[in-house]
Amino acid sequence: MRFTKLVAAAVLGVGLCFSQAMAKEMNVGFVYVSPIGDAGWSYAHDMGRQALEKMDGVTTSYVEAVAEGPDSERVMLNMARKGYDVIFATSFGYMDPMLKVAKQFPETIFMHCSGFKTADNMGNYFGRMYQARYLSGMVAGAMTKSNTIGYVAAFPIPEVIRGINAFTLGAQAMNPDVTVRVVWTKTWYDPATEKEAAKSLLDVGADVIAQHQDSPGPQEAAQEKGVYSIGYNSDMSQFAPDAHLTAPIWNWGPFYIETIKQVQAGTWKAGSSWPGLADGIVDLSPMSDMVPKEVQDKVMAKKAAIIAGEKVFVGPIKDQKGMEKVAAGSSMSDGDMLGMTWFVQGVIGTTE
Amino acid sequence: MSIDILIPLLAAAVQSGTPILYATLGEIFTERSGILNLGVEGIMIIGALTGFLVAKITGNPYLAFIAAGFAGTCAASIHGIVCLVFQGNQVVSGLALTILGVGLANYLGTSYVGVSTPGFQPLPIPLLAQIPVLGPIFFSQDLLVYFTYIIPFLMWLFLYNTRFGLSLRAAGEYPAAATAAGLNVVGYRWLGVLGGGFFMGLGGAYLSLAYTHLWTNNLTAGRGWIAVALVIFAFWRPTRAVFGAYLFGGIMALQLRLQASGTQIPSSLLLMLPYALTVAVLVLASWRRGKTDEPGALGTNIVPAE
Amino acid sequence: MSAIRIVKRQEPLGWSSFFVLVAAIVLSLLLSAVILVIGGTPPVEGITVLFKGAFGSRFAFEDALLKATPIFLCSLGVALAFKLKVWNIGAEGQYALGAVGATWMALSFPNAPAWLLLPAMIAMAVAAGGVWGFIPALLRQKLKTNEIIVTLMMNYIAILFLDYLVYGIWKDPASFGFPMTAEFSEAAIVGRIGATNFSWGLVHCLFLGVLFWVFISFSRIGFEIKASGDNVRAARYAGIPYDRLVMLVMALSGALAGWAGFLEASSTVNRLQPSIMAGYGYTAIVVAWLARLNPLFIGIASFMLAGLRVGVEGLQLDLQVPAAFGGIIEGLILLTVLAGGLFSNYRMVWVRKKT
């Protein structure tokens, strides 16, 4: 009798250890919209994935350059069929395909970046990059002498527009006369076109170049002309040592690790996450020595304020036509920010 | 648009048109010998990657530039083998080469995306760069652009004033008669393909060594196809190609500058300009041409006789 | 002294050309394996994963079938034009405009019943694609402009036009500012067959494939196409209205690609967005050529190449091979098959040279 109890205890004990080990072992998949190994969007996510890889019991894998639409649906289906536990899809256009797949695999957890749809097993997340953009705009506004800043941007989607607006507000905070001119390249990664776009902005008098592009093409243009530049996604100073002032950068590692920890502990819930400076998901890269100390101090002070809870899109804010979009004293809701399709006053360019 | 914007625009047109010009010259050389090579895009991008890698490894951009040309020749030789030896259809072979070339370059270049390489910087020519208007446009460019000021002329000399050039053109114009007269038509076609490939490779290298100093997937972004179109616009004449390439480069630069100036025209429509212009130009060229300069036997394979 | 001389055969080889095809594909797989090695991936494992991912499971089979649908239809169109030696490189743009046409119909009449709306969408898609194919043909016959370049440029223009619409006037107000149209109503969607994962689009393909074959083999125009493809001058001499034929064929070619665009927008994505463009129009050219412009082989080849695309994704996921590998295999297969064509189209003859 005692022997049976012993055996039962042993089996229970082994079973517990086994299930513990089983609970820890996780397969995480990532879907990227562009090739990694650039200094850009997918590269930043991949840095996060690599941080995740270091966790115990977590293996990660990825598929890159996946076109939005049916291709992405198939990739996610494949991952789900292979028994991946968590799947991260890092581009807006993956939203509907992910929703479809999520319905078919209720046991798998799906996380969509930069979208707005959710399900019981699907959440979405993004980073408040606009906070870092505001800070970088402050630097640009302080450093420009011609009061014209050039912004090379990829596609007129809300996150890009939001970034431009935040950047402009930051620049205007330091220098109310500043204008920001926008050129759309309609590509995420084409250094030749991006560089040419930067040059076209330089030709109309811009003396600081900022970008919402993945390649350092615009940085090269700024360096060659001898003006200043703001990078993106990661510190781009190696490409433009005499021009690069700072860059708003991503830091996805902590977010991914936190998410997986929640899944492992069973506390993960579907929802919308939008962490920012305060959580360390976005940041401003170290400012170059070319930026005067008093400017750096102001920027760091503002950064601390935002981390403490201060909002960026606080009224009064007018749009390009002069209409008031945000009343004095109020701030924009998350929903309004996510769907931003208009430019603030001071931006010169179309939103199409 | 004021004169202030016009001069930088024209300077940008020259720079933007240069890689296309190299490729167009290469394709003219090939088509003159009777071979249609639609693999320009693939050959260009292989040249771009080769130039980038060699410059990164050796630190010598000049060596890299030449190496890219040879890479272009090697890539073009695939087209030569399929068409001249295996009698493959020239249109499809060129397309296949483009698909293969783009895939190969993107595949091999994966780890080098977002990395920079030593390359060519603008090199203003001492006295000439001071000339108002012409100075900034033509004489403040980099070395590889200056090469393109003489290469078309040299190619013209070769094609129209040497015996070899004459033979090359004969191979493309009337290969049957030329063979009967004892000319090694296949040999000249090989010269056309390999020589053309060299210039296409150079054109690609310009993008990764001078226009930018970066590598990326699809760096050439369709410029090779524009080159094929420009050959027709240039009536297969090297000197005309210069005008076409700068015109096209100018349109590409223009649409960006229109945006920078604050136009309200949607960017998608502006981006159509280069392509719509190419069609318009082609229609115009076809309309005007009475006596055609198109090599008579372009695109047809010949069975080598003994 | 002797030499090998090649002489064109009267009729291309039949059965032995199949072996040439297989040999070519094997060769291209070998070369791809070599490239895998250069990239640092174990070759045998790589090729195995490729095949398993492409054809190794029921899911892969379904995925490949789904992907093969637009490729098949575009390829039928391309093959039709190629039979006349008119080099239609514009399937991509004709597909785009077909999708645009179908979307216009779907967005304008979302409350119409399906039996009315779907045929209307098809009609619009086919008309739009047809016009886009007709224009280069018109320019070719009347002005002798090179159709290769015109169709290629029109690809870019069509895709940019699609972008213009979805970024601008057709943008869904509920899409938070992202470039996509509203989701199509139920009536505008081509759905699944019963409880299976197969779309009705497959039936469309079957229907059009058979129609294509009947048209080419038994109609008078089909005969005219065959005759003109072989020898334009002789055909004109025999009284065939060649100019009109080219324009008709190109319009039909564009129409087929337009139908593919309709299916993709309606059945696969249920709306119009930029990512509908996946390079099917270009793959269609590879397929058409590999299949020797024959509709049955086009069916097989589009399935194979679709499977290849699916398999390459498996390669990415399991072995982290870059996505560009797919282009390498496609290009190699086409080149080796082209080269292999020497043996089916020509005969080797030993000739003794008289010295």
What CATH number is given to the structural domain containing C73? 1.10.3470
- Asked, for residue A201, whether it belongs to a domain, the answer is yes
Percent of chain A with pLDDT over 70: 92
Is A232 in the same domain as A217? yes
The whole-number pLDDT of residue B305 equals 44
* Same domain (yes/no): A147, A287: yes
* CA distances in angstroms from A279 to A55, A258, A274, B209, listed in the order given: 20, 11, 10, 41
Query: Quick one: A118 and A137 in the same domain?
Result: no
What value does the mean pLDDT take over residues B37-53?
95
Please identify, among A125, A152, A186, the residue that sits at the C-terminal boundary of a domain.
A125
- Asked if residue C59 belongs to a domain, the reply is no
Distance, in angstroms, between B113 CA and closest chain A CA?
5
Determine whether the interchain pair A204/B260 forms a contact, defined as Cβ–Cβ distance below 8 Å. yes
Residue C46 lies in a domain: no
Taking CA A334 as the corner, what is the angle to CA A328 and CA A339, rounded to the nearest 5 degrees?
A: 100
Q: Which residues pair with A179 in a beta bridge?
A: A148
| A307 and A291 part of one domain | yes
Tokens describing residue A295 = 């400017």
Pair (A70, A146) in one structural domain: no
A261 is a domain residue: no
Lowest mean pLDDT among A220-224, A334-338, B260-264, C7-11: C7-11
For residue A81, the enclosing domain spans 2-125
Residues A150 and A103 in one domain: no
Position A3 scores a pLDDT of 63
Show residues of chain B in contact with C330, CB under 8 Å.
Answer: 99-100, 103
CA distance B185 to B163: 14
Compute how many other C-beta atoms are within 10 angstroms of the C-beta atom of residue B300: 11
Q: Give Cα A47 to chain centroid, integer Å.
A: 12
Position C48 in a domain: no
C139 and C83 inside one domain: yes
> Same domain for C254 and C145?
yes
* Domain-ending residue, one of A90, A125, A160: A125
Cα separation, C147 vs C157, in Å, equals 15
Q: What is the pLDDT of residue C353?
A: 64
Q: Domain residues of chain B, as ranges?
A: 15-225
Closest CB to C313 among A69, A75, A116: A75
Which of A33, A53, A59, A68 best tests the C interface by mutation, with the highest count of C CBs <10 A? A68
Clarify whether residues A169 and A316 are in a common domain. yes
Alpha carbon of A156: minimum distance to chain C alpha carbons (Å) = 8
Burial B224-258 (b: 16+ CB within 10 A, else e): bbbbbbbbbbbbbbbebbbbbbbbbbbbbbbbbbb
- Number of A/B CB contacts below 8 angstroms equals 107
**Residues C121 and C93 occupy one common structural domain:** yes
Q: Is A256 part of any domain?
A: no
Q: What part of B 259-278 touches C (C-beta under 8 Å)?
A: 266, 268-269, 271-272, 275-276, 278
Identify whether residues C184 and C325 lie together within a single domain: no
The total number of structural domains that make up chain C: 2
Identify the CA nearest to A155 among candidates C160, C347, C191: C160
First to last CA, chain A: 79
Residues A49, A10: one domain? yes
**C320 contacts A62? CB cut-off 8 A:** yes
φ/ψ of residue B285, rounded to 5: -65, -40
Asked if residue C86 is part of any domain, the answer here is yes
Is C86 found in the same domain as C210?
A: yes
Spell out the residues 6+ positions from residue B122 whose beta carbon is closer than 8 angstroms to its own.
A224, B140, B141, B142
Are residue C141 and residue C21 in the same domain, yes or no? no
Minimal CA separation from A352 to chain B, in Å: 5
Domain boundary among A125, A152, A187: A125
Residues C37, C80 share a domain: no
Cβ within 8 Å of B, C 286-305? 286, 289
Q: Are residues A325 and A208 in the same domain?
A: yes
Say yes or no: C188 and C203 in one domain: yes
Determine whether the interchain pair B216/A150 forms a contact, defined as Cβ–Cβ distance below 8 Å: no
**A75-127 per-position pLDDT tens digit:** 898 899 889 999 999 988 898 889 999 999 999 999 999 888 899 999 999 99
**Per the CB < 8 Å rule, is C59 touching A35?**
no
Nearest CA in chain A to C171: A352
Examine residue A205 and state whether it is found in any structural domain, yes or no. yes
DSSP letter (8 states) at residue B116: B
Helix (H) / strand (E) containing A89: strand A86-89
Q: Does residue A271 fall inside a structural domain?
A: no
Q: Taking the C-alpha atoms of C325, C328, C330 and C331 in order, what is their torsion angle to the nearest 10 degrees?
A: 170
Alpha helices in C144-263 (DSSP H): 147-167, 201-218, 220-230, 232-237, 242-263
Say yes or no: C103 and C231 in one domain: yes
Burial class (CB in 10 A: 0-12, 13-18, 19+), A313: buried
The answer to whether A74 and C310 are in contact (CB under 8 A) is yes
Query: Is there a contact between A122 and A152 (Cβ–Cβ < 8 Å)?
Result: no
Query: Choosing among B49, B267, B269, which should be mutated to test the A contact, i.e. which has the most A CBs within 10 A?
Result: B267
Whether omega for the bond prior to residue A316 falls within 30 degrees of 0, making it cis, is: yes
CA dist A171 → A135, A179, A299 (Å): 8, 9, 11
How does pLDDT run across C236-275, given as a tens digit for each residue?
A: 888 888 999 999 999 999 999 999 999 999 988 888 888 7
- Find the domain containing C295 and state its range: 69-318
pLDDT for residue A168: 95
Q: Is residue C147 part of a domain?
A: yes
Q: Is A331 helix (H, G, I), strand (E, B) or coil?
A: strand
Q: What is the pLDDT of residue A17?
A: 47
In this prediction, residue C246 carries a pLDDT of 93
Within this chain, do residues C253 and C327 fall inside the same structural domain, yes or no? no
Q: Enter the pTM of the model.
A: 0.86
Same domain, yes or no: A120 and A182: no
Same domain, A136 and A7: no
CB contact under 8 A, C167 and A156: yes
In chain A, the number of structural domains is 2
Same domain, C156 and C24: no
pLDDT tens-digit series, residues A26-60: 899 999 987 775 557 888 898 899 999 998 889 99
In whole angstroms, give the CA distance from residue C229 to residue A191.
Answer: 44
Q: Do residue B256 and residue A195 have CB atoms under 8 angstroms apart? A: no
B-chain residues near A195 (CB < 8 A)? 211-212
Residue A314 sits in the same domain as residue A341: yes
**How far apart are alpha carbons C128 and C191 in whole angstroms?**
23
3-class secondary-structure state, position C192: strand
The CATH number linked to A14 is 3.40.50.2300
